[in-house]
Amino acid sequence: MLNTNSYLEEKGHVDWFTVVMYLVFVILGWFNIYAASFDLETAVSMYDLSSRAGMQLQWIGISIIVAFALLKIDVSFYETYAFLFYIIGLGLLILTYFVAPEIKGSRSWLVLGPIRLQPAEFMKFVIALVIARIFNVHNFKLMEPKNLLIVSSLILLPVIIVIMQSETGTALVYLSLIFVLYREGLPGGLLFMGVAFIIYFVITIKFSETQLGMLSLGEIITIGLIITFTAGLVRNYLKRKDTPIIIISIGALVAAISYFLYNINSSLDIGLMAIIALVAVSLYIIFLSLRFRKKKYIYILLFIAGSFVFVESSEHVFMDVMQPHQQMRIKSTLGMEQDLQGSGYHVGQSKIAIGSGGMFGKGYLNGTQTKLKYVPEQDTDFIFCTIGEEWGFIGSLVTLLLFTIFILRLLYLAERQTSAFGRVYGYGVISIFLFHLMVNIGMVIGIMPVIGIPLPFFSYGGSSILAFTILLFIFLKIDKVKKKY
């Protein structure tokens, strides 16, 4: 198989547009790492190999060599050995867990003499490859229970291991591959439920401190949301026009009665009223399911029950299962508490650095906040601060736009694949980049909790840049030979 395919490859073109963008990113990243690690007292050259920028330059060099090498390797090689890579990757992750020294609270670094590698970084493209390989079977149906089980196991296994390594951020990156599954047929309802549950969680926690009767304000608002979502689901899946209106009316009626009664007697248990509304809506759905005998009503009932159980348990999970520093990060992101010493301090300083950049920034190497070490991890996770401070709103916007173009270009490339293998892998690449972008920049500008994952191509780190390069260039190679399948 290796030999039969090799002659066909020569005719395709590598997507130079993406390659150029890649080069632009790594060079911009290198400049900003120099700026972020610039020490006023010992100003060293950008090319000094012992400096952070110099080290990064070496890694960029290695990455480019690897990239060209990857373009020379047969696509069939990845297809054939995807499972083997996966097994090796899992093995390395487990090995790392046992032998890795603890660095900054996590056990994810494998130290080989002078080189330190994070196997978890390389596992990203391995998981994307193995899922692509799974889909690359004629007439593969994701929603068959067996297939669903295999795919979710392939993702969840490494997730569990990296969580044990205390690399929660990386675990979330693996989970972001759920976008791939969505593209390949995972019901939108499930994705919707995921989003809905995140919203429930945020609202429940954010408004958990006001108690109104037997429920908190957060829980009451989420019950309102559950009723609204239920109406939406009925409309979307059962194509009935009057039912959603009736459902909303039940909710509104109970709310109106509560308001009226509350004005008469302010000791009214509003929490109880909310539960009454939810029960009334549920009874109505049960009535409809008995009348029309449709399976979809049962799913909707399950959604209501699941939502309610999730809401009721999320506060418990937040308070009793999550670690205090994680609670603090979430609370400070939601603006509930000012955490001036811990992560709140970092985000505060990061916002000051970015905010002080203004429209045009302070100019290259003129950023005071990053130079004077006010922002933590400024050349790794918080590298975007340097861009914001020294290049201002314009620079930040250009960076964001470049990433958007990059993602949309990858989408275009993924969609033009002729094989499921190429497309699924492409979506894997997109999911990983998009998730990194969303979480990293979101954290730096203060709308996401502090989750330490790097900004692709910009953050300092050999494993990171090499892993992203491999992830991208395998896809470019697959894209190059697509027509030959």
Partner 1 sequence: MGNTKNNFEKRKYIIGAIAVLIVLVYSLQLFKLQILSPEYRKYADSNAFFSKTLYPSRGSIYDREGNLIVYNQPTYDVMMVVREMIEFDTLDFCNTLNIDVPTFLQLDADMRDRRKNPGYSSYTPQIFKTQLDIEEYGLLQEKLYKFPGVYIQNRTVRQYKYPNMGLILGYVAEVDKNKMAADPYYVRGDYVGKSGIELSHEEDLRGEKGVEVLLRDAHGRIQGKYKDGEMDKEPISGRDLTLSIDIELQAYGEYLMQNKIGSIIMIEPKTGEILSMVAAPTYDPSLLTGKDFSSNYLKLEQDPYKPLINRAVAGTYPPGSTFKPSQGLVFLQEGIITPETRYSCFGGYPPLGGRPKCHPHASSVSLQPSLATSCNSFFCYGLNAMISNRTKYASNLEAFEVWKDYMVDMGFGYKLGVDLPSEKRGFIPNSKYYSNVFKTDKWNGHNIISIAIGQGEVSSTPLQLANFSALIANRGYYYKPHVVKERKGAPLDTLYTIRRDSRVDRAHFELTVEGMADAVTNGTCRRINMEPHLTVCGKTGTAQNPHGADHSLFIGFAPKDDPKVAIAVIVENGGFGATNAVPIARLMLQKYLFGEILEQDKFLEQTLADRVILPFIYKQNMDRELAASKLEGDN
Q: Which is nearer to partner 1, 257 or 398 (CB)?
A: 398
Query: Would you count residue 472 as binding partner 1 (CB under 8 A)?
Result: no
Beta-bridged to residue 112, according to DSSP, are 115
The set of residues, in sequence order, having a beta carbon less than 8 Å from that of 446 and lying 6+ positions away, is 333, 347, 350, 351
Q: Which is nearer to partner 1, 301 or 407 (CB)?
A: 407
Which listed residue (61, 91, 185, 335) binds partner 1 by CB under 8 A?
185
Cα four-point dihedral sign 424, 430, 433, 437: negative
Q: Which is nearer to partner 1, 227 or 478 (CB)?
A: 478
Which listed residue (107, 208, 355, 365) binds partner 1 by CB under 8 A?
355
Asked if 314 and 201 touch (Cβ cutoff 8 Å), the reply is yes
Query: Would you count residue 393 as binding partner 1 (CB under 8 A)?
Result: yes
Taking each helix axis from N to C terminus, what angle separates 119-135 and 145-164, rounded to the nearest 10 degrees? 180
Q: How far is the CB of 418 from partner 1 (least distance, A)?
A: 5
Size of residue set near partner 1 by CB under 8 A: 60
Segment 224-228 long-range contacts (CB within 8 Å, at least 24 positions apart):
224/251, 224/255, 224/274, 225/196, 225/199, 225/200, 226/200, 226/278, 226/304, 226/307, 226/308, 226/311, 227/251, 227/277, 227/278, 227/281
Q: How far is the CB of 218 from partner 1 (least distance, A)?
A: 22
What six digits make up the tokens of 84? 């083997």
Cα four-point dihedral sign 106, 108, 111, 117: negative
The set of residues, in sequence order, having a beta carbon less than 8 Å from that of 3 and lying 6+ positions away, is none
Piece in contact with partner 1 (CB under 8 A), picked from 56-64, 178-186, 282-290, 300-308: 178-186
Asked if 272 and 214 touch (Cβ cutoff 8 Å), the reply is yes
Query: Would you count residue 1 as binding partner 1 (CB under 8 A)?
Result: no
Piece in contact with partner 1 (CB under 8 A), picked from 3-11, 93-101, 271-279, 409-417: 409-417
Which listed residue (33, 129, 311, 354) binds partner 1 by CB under 8 A?
354
| Residue among 430, 439, 476 nearest 459 (CA) | 439
Query: Would you count residue 434 as binding partner 1 (CB under 8 A)?
Result: yes
Q: How far is the CB of 94 from partner 1 (least distance, A)?
A: 31
Query: Would you count residue 135 as binding partner 1 (CB under 8 A)?
Result: yes
Query: Would you count residue 429 as binding partner 1 (CB under 8 A)?
Result: no
For strand 115-117 and strand 110-112, is the pairing parallel, antiparallel, or unpaired?
Answer: antiparallel
- By three-state DSSP, how is residue 110 classified? strand
Query: Would you count residue 190 as binding partner 1 (CB under 8 A)?
Result: no
Which listed residue (137, 149, 190, 245) binds partner 1 by CB under 8 A?
137
Query: Would you count residue 136 as binding partner 1 (CB under 8 A)?
Result: yes
Query: Would you count residue 457 as binding partner 1 (CB under 8 A)?
Result: no
Piece in contact with partner 1 (CB under 8 A), picked from 167-175, 226-234, 385-393, 457-465: 385-393
Which listed residue (244, 271, 357, 461) binds partner 1 by CB under 8 A?
357
Q: Which is nearer to partner 1, 308 or 475 (CB)?
A: 475
Query: Would you count residue 353 as binding partner 1 (CB under 8 A)?
Result: yes
Query: Would you count residue 450 as binding partner 1 (CB under 8 A)?
Result: no
Piece in contact with partner 1 (CB under 8 A), picked from 81-89, 162-170, 328-336, 370-378: 370-378
Which listed residue (62, 238, 276, 352) binds partner 1 by CB under 8 A?
352
Piece in contact with partner 1 (CB under 8 A), picked from 122-130, 150-158, 350-358, 457-465: 350-358
Spatial distance between the Cα atoms of 186 and 184, rounded to a whole number of angstroms: 6
Which listed residue (58, 152, 236, 418) binds partner 1 by CB under 8 A?
418
Which listed residue (369, 380, 386, 469) binds partner 1 by CB under 8 A?
369
What six digits make up the tokens of 251? 């909710």
Residues counted in the chain: 485
Judged on CB neighbours under 10 Å (0-12, 13-18, 19+), 408 is: exposed
Query: Would you count residue 382 as binding partner 1 (CB under 8 A)?
Result: no
Query: Would you count residue 333 as binding partner 1 (CB under 8 A)?
Result: no
Spatial distance between the Cα atoms of 439 and 435, rounded to a whole number of angstroms: 6
Query: Would you count residue 218 as binding partner 1 (CB under 8 A)?
Result: no
Query: Would you count residue 411 as binding partner 1 (CB under 8 A)?
Result: yes
Which listed residue (121, 184, 219, 381) binds partner 1 by CB under 8 A?
184
Which listed residue (166, 228, 327, 356) binds partner 1 by CB under 8 A?
356
Q: Which stretches within 207-294 are classed as H helix?
A: 217-238, 242-264, 270-292
| Residue among 116, 144, 130 nearest 174 (CA) | 130
What six digits make up the tokens of 441? 């920049």
Spatial distance between the Cα atoms of 304 and 281, rounded to a whole number of angstroms: 9
Spatial distance between the Cα atoms of 224 and 314, rounded to a whole number of angstroms: 17
Query: Footprint of partner 1 on this chain (CB under 8 A)?
Result: 40-41, 135-140, 179, 182-185, 188, 349, 351-359, 368-369, 371-374, 388-389, 392-393, 396-397, 400-401, 403-404, 407-408, 411, 414-415, 418-421, 427, 430, 434, 437-438, 441-442, 445-447, 485
